[in-house]
Chains A and B, each alone.
Chain A
Amino acid sequence: MANVIRDEFRAGLARGELLLQKCNDCGRLNMYPRHACPHCQSLSLGWHKSAGRGVLHSFTVLRAGAPEGFESELPYAVGIVKLEEGVQLLARLAPEADGDWQGYRCDDRVEFRPASAEHVAQRPCAWFARAND
């Protein structure tokens, strides 16, 4: 099924960019990207490159019961990031140096971590990690 919005978002991830949908009429950002602007119903929609900074609203480390196709990745962490631009998304979280996520806390500052084009082709989602500060 054709899905231009999804494909353009994923092409951005493969280039190392986190794209946010931006309405060409009202100028507001939409996440997740929509097929009409939910604020003004405009069909003229483009993209804005995110600065990739935000705070971690919540997260979990899944240690059992992965969906089909994800079994070999256990354990892995997902979290909800509230971006500085005022929109939010679910992302994967990079492990810390010890391979775990025990240093993560809610409301931590986090940054977008571009993944390789190969990785994005396999898992087309954004990755974030704790900000180094």
Chain B
Amino acid sequence: MGDTWPLQTTAKSPNDPLFVGVGELPSGRYPDRNFIGDLTHVGLHALADAGMKPRDVDTILLIPCLHSAVDQADLIFSRMAEELGLIGHLKASFMVHSGGSTSDNAVRLASGLIASGHARTVLVLNCERWGSANVNEMVTMLSKYGIPNEWEMPTGLQFNAIGALIQRRYMHATQSTPADMASVCVTLRNWAQLNPNAMYHGKPLTVEKVLASKVVAEPLHALECPMLADGAVAFVMTSAENARSRGLDVAVRVAGSGGCVSHYSIGQEPDLAVLGWATAAKRAYEQSGWGPKDAQIAEIYDTYAAVTAAAVEGLGFCAPGDGARWFASGAADPGGKLPCNTNGGMLSAGHTGVGGGTALLVEGVRQLLWRAGPQRQVGGVQRCIVGGTGGSYMDAQVLLLERSAPGGR
């Protein structure tokens, strides 16, 4: 088999895993909301979207929270089974964790459970409370996670510095200008104006404003760094057979996935301007038979402009080195030739930790279900490319999603 992984199900397989519903609460600062309350409500939203009740779920996967180890323990130890009334009914409840790329891996896991028969319907839940957490505590935590304690922590590295190292190399290698980089942030902000759930809805941004903001980690300006936010998202996956028997006529299938773990320590990444995107994309395209021109939208992890610019190059949306200029051209904007991060992304919808990538995934599914609302729904979208990455951008993960009709045409 070598470096190929043929998908074991097709759109016609009864055990083909499908997304059938999504839920989301607004992102931003919501000190009056409650962690378990948000998880419960967003889960019910996603189930209602799928035409389901909690009793239709047999497996719950939890996306981790990072604001509190105690709250995270509630995710690990099946609290949501009690909260949703599933004691004695649920087969399994457990957390999946690879930082920012967790949602991609949760989809792979849920798909495998469904395709193999270990689960029929999986509910995936996320809530993060970063927006209401103590900022200094979160900064300190983020200078310890994904950074080797023996070798890099003594330098004083932290998360913005990691983004800055990537952005500096990216700008050097591609000769992208500060304005090119800022334009990525502006594209995301343009999308956020169409998303009432986005943290920066109603707050437009310009390249000039980005470049006039304080430099926090050269070459990054404050407005190029993600703002920590509260948020909650959820999605439901089930088998094609089950979707069909429930009378669902629209769903989203996983046409393929690919990944590449390119480093653990940022100091061991061979090329910060490239990361693992091209390798991950090649694996995903090979599994699905897709190419970069087959999708109408993309939803790509975007904590820093250079990460996303490198991703669109690796995914083949533009020539190598042209990622930031591609954004500057308006290609990814509302009305552009390949709309990207249609919820505003993490830089403008809000950085909800591990949930930020989950929110992008959920937005891709929502667009493919044609449920993104009149303002930002991309007309006739059939295929979406989702990109995720975790830790110090240790991995590049690619999911290829397509609209499907489980009831047959």
Contacts and interface: CB of A to CB of B under 8 A. Distances in A.
A94 to B, nearest CB: 13
Given A32-B265, A67-B140, A106-B172, A60 B218 contact: yes
B164 interface: yes
A95 to B, nearest CB: 13
Interface stretch (B149-157, B190-198, B359-367, B382-390): B149-157
B148 A78 contact: no
A66 interface: yes
Contacts of A3: 150
A37 B296 CA distance: 45
A39 interface: no
Nearest to A77: B218
Contacts of A89: 151, 267
Interface string B135-158: 010011001100010111011111
Size band of the A side of the interface? 35 or more
Given A31-B268, A80-B272, A88-B267, A125 B168 contact: no
A81 B241 CA distance: 54
A106 B172 CA distance: 7
Size band of the B side of the interface? 35 or more
B166 interface: yes
B150 A90 contact: no
A100 to B, nearest CB: 10
A90 B265 contact: yes
Nearest to B135: A65
Contacts of A124: 154
A117 interface: no
Contacts of A31: 268
Interface string A71-92: 0010010111000000011111
B216 interface: yes
B266 A90 contact: yes
A90 B140 contact: no
Pick from B155, B157, B164, B219 the residue with the most CB of A within 10 Å: B155
A93 to B, nearest CB: 10
B160 interface: yes
A15 interface: no
Contact of A61 (B139, B169, B218): B218
Interface in B150-184: 150-152, 154-158, 160-161, 164-166, 168-169, 172-173
A67 B266 contact: no
B157 A64 contact: no
Contacts of A80: 165, 266-267, 269, 272
A90 B267 contact: yes
B214 interface: yes
Pick from A6, A68, A80 the residue with the most CB of B within 10 Å: A80
A57 B160 contact: no
A70 B218 CA distance: 17
A63 B166 CA distance: 17
Nearest to B136: A68
Contacts of B87: none
B217 interface: yes
Contacts of A96: none
Given A65-B160, A78-B157, 18 more contacts: A6-B151, A32-B148, A32-B268, A58-B172, A59-B165, A63-B218, A65-B158, A66-B158, A67-B143, A68-B140, A76-B156, A88-B267, A89-B267, A90-B267, A105-B172, A106-B169, A106-B173, A123-B154
18 contacts: A5-B150, A57-B272, A58-B169, A60-B164, A60-B219, A62-B156, A63-B214, A63-B217, A64-B216, A65-B160, A66-B158, A67-B139, A67-B144, A67-B156, A68-B143, A79-B165, A90-B157, A90-B266
